[in-house]
Structure 1
Amino acid sequence: MRGAHSTADTAVQAPPHWLRTLALLLICAAYLQGGLVKLFDFGGAVAEMQHFGIAPAEPAAIAVIALELVAPAMIVLGVWRWLAALALAAFTLAATLMANRYWDAPPEARFMLMNAFYEHLGLCGAFLLIVWEDLRARRARRDRAMLAGTKGSALQ
């Protein structure tokens, strides 16, 4: 029948697992790279914290390294993905507001800082979409499990 489509006909197929994993890894790439650089140059990580007036600098550097390495792993592996993505969104927003204040920069630095600011806002948006998608998928799995449980008990 023309114009009549079943839900299955119009449903968007999920991407292949490898492509989804690659996309999540690419979204997290800057954090993995940053965490590894800080891990192997801890003095530089501490100096970066001091540069931005964060004290005590050493514990802050350790916390940032842990976040930048553990949260992406959680996202890619699907372990509390929504929580890790929310943490990286909050961290990225805070770091962006601290490090990319283009409105306070001298004119010669403004363009680069403004680009970095909005690129980081885009990453925040990507992480919020990951949060939304993961919570939606969890809810759908829970609903399917509850429905399966209801069907099973009705048959008994």
Structure 2
Amino acid sequence: MTPAPIKAMLESRALLLLGRLVLTFMFWSSGLVKLTDFAGGVAEMSHFGLEPGWLFNALTIIVQLGGSLLIIVNRGAWLGAGALAVFTLLTIPIAHPFWTMSGQEGMHEMLVVLEHITVIGGLILAAILGQRTARR
């Protein structure tokens, strides 16, 4: 049985909003950086072989900010979570190919991939929770 104060917190709309903000933090903060330092974002895309860099940076901004917003406001959270999950999955072979590395570098990139997979799991739960709590 869940203690009453914990149950009240878990049923709180404020805690649900905080959870959505925190879950999407890595996406919306990255999107804002790429938006405010567009040239830096273009350079990052080019570094990973994504050309034209300006187009990939613009698309990344749209996915990161748009997907985050959909989850945060719980309007089409399934779409935002799906877009961010696919985006996160695609970053693995592009930016974190640990299987091509050895030593500490390979280990570090493998840990980043494991974190990415964990975030994808959180996004799946956000889509499910969004569906269950959608304002009708």
TM-score range, shorter chain: 0.7 to 0.9
> Where does 1:43-62 land on structure 2 (aligned, <5 Å)?
43-62=39-58
TM-score, with length taken from structure 1:
0.75
Q: Secondary structure at the match of 1:39?
A: helix
In 2, Cα distance between the equivalents of 1:73 and 1:21?
Answer: 11
Q: Aligned partners of 1:17, 1:88: CA distance in 2, in Å?
A: 23
* Deviation by residue 1:12-37 (Cα, 9 ceiling, x = unmatched): 87520000100111000011111111
Q: Find out whether 1:16 has 2:9 as its counterpart.
A: no
Structure of higher RCO (CA pairs closer than 8 Å, 6+ residues apart):
2
1:30 is aligned to 26
What do the CA deviations read for 1:48-87 (whole angstroms, capped 9, x no partner)?
Answer: 1111111221111011012111211111111111111111
How many residue pairs match? The answer is 129
Deviations 1:102-151 (A, max 9, x none): 1111323012111111001100111111122333445xx87xxxxxxxxx
Unaligned runs of 5+ in 1: 1-11, 143-156
What SS does the corresponding residue of 1:50 show, helix, strand or coil?
helix
Query: Matches of 2:53 and 2:76 in 1, distance apart?
Result: 28
Q: 1:112 aligns with which of 108, 114, 118?
A: 108
The whole-number CA distance in structure 2 between the counterparts of 1:25 and 1:97 is: 27
1-side partners of 2:125 and 2:104: how far apart?
34
Residue in structure 1 matching 2:131, options 132, 135, 141 = 135
Larger Rg: 1
Structure 2: unaligned runs, 5 residues or longer = 1-6
* 1:96 Cα deviation from its structure 2 partner: 2.1
| Percent identity over paired residues | 32
Q: Root-mean-square deviation (CA), in Å?
A: 1.8
Summarize the alignment of residues 90-109 of structure 1 with structure 2, pairs less than 5 Å apart.
Answer: 90-109=86-105
Question: Residue 148 of structure 1 aligns with which residue?
Answer: none
Instruction: State the AA in 2 paired with 1:103.
Output: W
The residue type equivalent to 2:114 in the other structure is: Y
Counterpart Cα distance in 2 of 1:134 and 1:20: 10
2:65 to 57, 69, 87: 69
Question: Which residue of structure 2 aligns with residue 150 of structure 1?
Answer: none
